[in-house]
Chains A and B, each alone.
Chain A
């Protein structure tokens, strides 16, 4: 057996408040804040008891209502005398404005419902006769046309030009590290200078990979780099560990 559950839905906290105000038949500008706050909280509690997710906006409004209520109960402080009225006035302004827009949305809905009954004819898709479009020829359009043709030609030439070679990455850091390690082992205690690692016809890419590999090795396998001052060649030593001696 199927149950039909009918719940009032609210577009938001303002919607709920307006509903409560209407139910209580009270003037929107003269809200008995304690009563409304209680009813509002009761509604939220009911939803929570039904395991419904209460949107955070509803909780924020509950806090606002409680704040207004609390401020109204407290003895008035000289400095913030106007405060409770201000908070409530702001809420009332918001409610009044929202209520107007709710009315407008209802008005729009009645208009929409009427217009939904109108059927428009879809344009029939007959291929268009492009030749029938009148041709306008003047020096300017001829020039434009010529330029377009030239440009088209250029594009065609570009299209038949041999495709550019995409060079695959030839060096990997892992391989370079192995290579450098070999060189260092051969060089022994003297170590090598950075320039010695670079052969004469080295590519820019390989230089970069070499440097990156060195930095990686400093981090992972104890490498010591010595440089006397900035922007000059530097010496590379292996950090000699005890067990290797």
Chain B
């Protein structure tokens, strides 16, 4: 089985599962070591980056999932007739921003930062599964400490918490027109890094092949 075929099988697994599938599970099903599966996954990812593909590979921590490309949503909704999906309210977004950067954090700390009560916003975020109970603060009343969830990463399109821009990016006042720039830069750097990775992996396999040849 070559890597292209492996990539095809992975695509089949991800489509069939619908839900996210972890790297460990993939390796078990395919009975292949992690680097080999990762290499095939990289091929798949590259393939999906082409404009000719309507799907993309979503990675959250170590799970992989397929989704349609957001860029094509305008066309897709014509056929699916989905109701317009509602985004989060301003209060919920503010609360979520604070929890994302200060986690684990108590409701009181969020209230103080926003200058208003955040209990209903927190409840909505809990209902949507974007935050969860992350333990208790050892202080009078043992208040709940909130932290963000897997669903938060998925909703915001982050691979992991490490991908969230540094707090300093916002505090240094460079945030004007920052959004688009960052998104652009991000996708460029992503492309670059995955290309590099692919090149590196190719080199390694070639090297292995040469060693094998030499051995024979």
Set A12, A14, A116: member contacting B85, Cβ < 8 A? A116
- The interface residues of chain B lying within 8 Å CB-to-CB of A118 are 56, 58, 67-70, 73, 157
Number of A-B contacts (CB under 8 A): 124
A146 within 8 A of B: no
- Contact B114 A98, beta carbon cutoff 8 Å: yes
Q: Which of A57, A103, A104, A105 has the most CB of B within 10 A?
A: A104
- Contact A11 B80, beta carbon cutoff 8 Å: no
B residues 59-93 touching A (CB-CB < 8 Å): 65-74, 76, 80, 82, 85, 87-88, 90-91, 93
Give the size range of A's interface with the partner: 35 or more
Chain A interface main SS type: helix
B98 within 8 A of A: yes
CA distance A219 to B10 in the complex (A): 83
CA distance A11 to B70 in the complex (A): 30
Give the segment of A31-39, A121-129, A195-203 that binds chain B. Answer: A121-129
CA distance A111 to B183 in the complex (A): 9
Given contact pairs A57-B117, A98-B113, A119-B67, A107 touches B87 in the complex (Cβ within 8 A): no
Give the segment of B12-20, B29-37, B39-47 that binds chain A. Answer: B12-20
Closest CB in chain B relative to A125 CB, distance in Å: 10
Closest CB in chain A relative to B19 CB, distance in Å: 5
B120 within 8 A of A: no
Q: Which of A13, A94, A98, A119 has the most CB of B within 10 A?
A: A119
- The interface residues of chain A lying within 8 Å CB-to-CB of B18 are 120-124
Set A98, A100, A116: member contacting B115, Cβ < 8 A? A98
- The interface residues of chain A lying within 8 Å CB-to-CB of B66 are 120-121
- The interface residues of chain B lying within 8 Å CB-to-CB of A121 are 15, 18, 66-67
B199 within 8 A of A: no
Total chain B interface residues with beta-carbon distance under 8 A: 50
CA distance A107 to B97 in the complex (A): 9
- The interface residues of chain A lying within 8 Å CB-to-CB of B68 are 117-119
CA distance A61 to B112 in the complex (A): 12
B residues bordering A, Cβ < 8 Å?
Answer: 15, 17-19, 56, 58, 65-74, 76, 80, 82, 85, 87-88, 90-91, 93-94, 96-98, 100-101, 113-117, 154-158, 165, 167, 170-171, 175, 178-179, 182-183
Q: With A103-B170, A118-B56 given, can you name 7 additional A-B contacts, CB distance below 8 Å? A: A11-B114, A103-B175, A112-B155, A116-B87, A117-B69, A117-B72, A118-B70
What are 30 A-B pairs at a CB distance below 8 A?
A: A11-B90, A11-B116, A13-B116, A14-B116, A57-B117, A94-B113, A94-B115, A101-B94, A101-B101, A104-B97, A104-B170, A105-B94, A105-B97, A106-B93, A110-B179, A111-B183, A112-B87, A115-B154, A115-B157, A117-B68, A117-B72, A117-B74, A118-B56, A118-B70, A118-B73, A119-B80, A120-B18, A121-B67, A123-B17, A123-B18
